[in-house]
Chains A and B, each alone.
Chain A
Amino acid sequence: MTNKTEPETNRSAWSGPSRLRSAQGAVTALVLFGCALITIVTTFLILGVLGGETISFFRVSKIGLIEFFSGTEIDFKSARPRFGLPPLIWGTFVIAVGASLVALPIGLLSAIFLSEYAPERLRRVLKPTLELLAGIPTIVYGYLALTVITPWLQSVLAPLGIRVEQFNAFSGCVVVGIMIVPLVSSLSEDVLSAAPRSLREAGYALGATKFEVATRIVLPASFSGVAASFILAISRAIGETMAVVLAAGSLAQIKLNPFTSIETMTAYIVAVTNGEASYGSPEYLSLFAVGITLFFMTLCLNMLSGAVIRRYREATP
């Protein structure tokens, strides 16, 4: 009977991979685990260094938490050092919001244009061109602000009696905005064009126009991806340094006038690093306090994007 022999052949066929292959599997798992471990350990080391130095900052400078979070002055020259985070947070906030105002609409609209309207040939040319913008060194953007945008702003606004400082928040927002447009457009275009064709066809079959299909079917269906691209772009704006220093300067102050200088957290870090703060001095240590704040801000943004995506996934399985 053949029936009897079959279980035997089956057993040998299913008895698992050879010893060499299980060894390969074990090694692979180990290497992958090692890589993951390195990332985690690095993160914690950075956090540890930042945390430790931040604590010594508060100890050495004798600046209290209340002053740190509510002061509006930064001065390490006088006998009693003064340091308040709000001007730096304000500067970062202005750049993040201003750049978003520029980049999110332009980026999203060009993503919609690329994925829904542009003919295939045009799209194949336009998309890499836009992505090219992301490859330009950020310092070039800073230069663009300093030598083109700001002079232009000055000549346009001077007749209206508006004075535009050489370093101003407005130019900073514009260049950082332009800089992060490709991030938004490229990532959003990817998610928009990944929306299934069957969904679009369903819309068209009900008598929808192209615009209705794009804005009322494709966009909501790709919401989580689009939101993720927004948050990524905002994180990038917050982290941007060189373009901001060149465009918006580094003058820590809270002013509503967008044509005056500001200082972002990253610009502050650059300024202190380039300055003559000696090792272990309060000014030097303040770098770490600002650094850890920046760390938590981006961490929050990342968690926010995670939450947005998860919440949306739950709503539409």
Chain B
Amino acid sequence: MIPKPTVGGDAETTPRTQAQSSPTGDVASSKTSPAGDPAESIAPPRSTDAVLETHNLSVYYTNLLALREITIAIPRNRITALIGPSGCGKSTLLRCFNRMNDLIPGARSEGHLWFEGVDIAASSTDPVTLRRRIGMVFQRPNPFPKTIYQNVAWGARINGYQGDMDELVERSLRRAALWDEVKGKLRKSGLELSGGQQQRLCIARTLAVEPEVILMDEPCSALDPVSTARVEDLMDDLKDEYTIVIVTHNMQQARRVSDMTACLMPDEASADGHRTGVLAEFSPTDRLFTNPKDPRTEAYITGRIG
């Protein structure tokens, strides 16, 4: 096992682009309604135990407000689930964390966004380095049209991995619980695998880059229950070393795997029917599902909205 860089200390030493004003109270977590004092412009990360933090983050697609004033802190070495009805902006929020929205013309964000205390959205932050440290698994399996081996090795190779590539490929595939199924056919195309295997291949590919955070956008939505169970077991294993954020439509899955759950909800529809996502509730998973504080959350998890 390659020792992962200890990132805990970074937060204190990394120069922040924002002013280091005194911590401004309880803005960063566990609020039941979207935090919203627009006058308050800067909130430095409150705790070093949060890997990713946002403060009053709003995201637009051209002129469309997709997310409004999201304030959330993703805890280290935990699994955080994002739930909410379709179109409320879960993927949008996830894609802010690794600046994937940069690739969408017209997408822009306001507010603050930190990774280990560094302003993610700042122009001085290199999205390429950021994405190397924050990996992502997509909703639909998207292996490269290359061999299984190359699929896993590709990311590591472009990131200048110097070690034993065979060993890295094997280790990553093992961690993704795929090794036993593919060890005899590493030179076969990744596209010849089943959907569930392809998704685990994509996870292996992400692990091979050795990121610190893994963002997963509905990773199991195309998988059967057996593959889903495997991926869930895998997430549990990975928790010790990684911080995981997972978007899911499956309430049971959120309850099974996550430590914290954020429930996003569309607010009242505007005149043209477009709805903007807001953070309804962010609590420990047990509490959110057994004793939701927000009526919208309660309605959603009991199946009355969605």
Contact = CB atoms under 8 A, between A and B. Distances in A.
Interface in B96-132: 98, 100, 103, 105, 128-129, 131-132
A201 B136 CA distance: 9
A16 interface: no
* Main SS at interface, chain A: helix
A198 B138 contact: yes
B146 interface: yes
A216 B151 CA distance: 12
A301 B197 CA distance: 39
A196 B144 CA distance: 10
B272 to A, nearest CB: 25
A289 B98 CA distance: 64
Interface-central residue, A200, A202, A317, by most chain B CB under 10 Å: A202
A207 B189 contact: no
A205 B98 contact: yes
A199 interface: yes
B154 A315 contact: no
A310 to B, nearest CB: 15
A130 to B, nearest CB: 22
B186 interface: no
A316 B155 contact: no
B191 A206 contact: no
Interface stretch (B18-26, B202-210, B257-265, B288-296): B202-210
B86 interface: no
A34 interface: no
Contact of A212 (B140, B158, B191, B209): B158
B155 A201 contact: no
B89 interface: no
A206 B138 contact: no
B15 interface: no
A221 interface: yes
Contact of A207 (B132, B140, B144): B132
A43 interface: no
B146 A220 contact: yes
B131 A205 contact: yes
Interface in A171-225: 196, 198-209, 212, 216-217, 220-221
B99 to A, nearest CB: 9
B178 to A, nearest CB: 17
A198 B191 CA distance: 14
B189 A317 contact: yes
Contacts of B135: 205-206
Given A208-B158, A216-B154, A317-B192, A202 B129 contact: no
Contacts of A200: 103
Interface residues of B, number: 29
A156 to B, nearest CB: 42
A139 to B, nearest CB: 42
Interface in A274-317: 315-317
Given A205-B100, A206-B158, A316 B189 contact: yes
A209 B103 CA distance: 12
A67 interface: no
B145 A202 contact: no
A207 B131 contact: yes
Contacts of A209: 128, 158
Given A206-B132, A207-B128, A201 B142 contact: yes
B191 A207 contact: no
Contacts of A217: 144
A208 B138 contact: no
A120 interface: yes
Contacts of B250: none
A201 B144 CA distance: 11
Interface string A214-242: 00110011000000000000000000000
B200 to A, nearest CB: 14
B73 to A, nearest CB: 23
B173 to A, nearest CB: 16
B131 A202 contact: no
Interface-central residue, A206, A208, A216, A315, by most chain B CB under 10 Å: A206
B154 A316 contact: no
Interface string B138-167: 101011111000000011001100000000
Interface-central residue, A201, A205, A217, A220, by most chain B CB under 10 Å: A205
B154 A201 contact: no
A207 B209 contact: yes
Contacts of A206: 131-132, 135, 154-155, 158-159, 205-206, 209
Nearest to A207: B132
A317 B198 CA distance: 14
Nearest to A223: B145
B147 to A, nearest CB: 9
Interface-central residue, B98, B131, B144, by most chain A CB under 10 Å: B144
12 contacts: A199-B144, A201-B100, A202-B144, A202-B202, A203-B144, A204-B100, A204-B131, A205-B98, A209-B128, A216-B158, A220-B146, A316-B146
Across the A-B interface, give the 8 residue pairs with the lowest CB-CB distance, nearest first.
A207-B132, A206-B155, A205-B136, A198-B142, A316-B145, A207-B131, A202-B142, A221-B145
Interface of A: 120, 196, 198-209, 212, 216-217, 220-221, 315-317
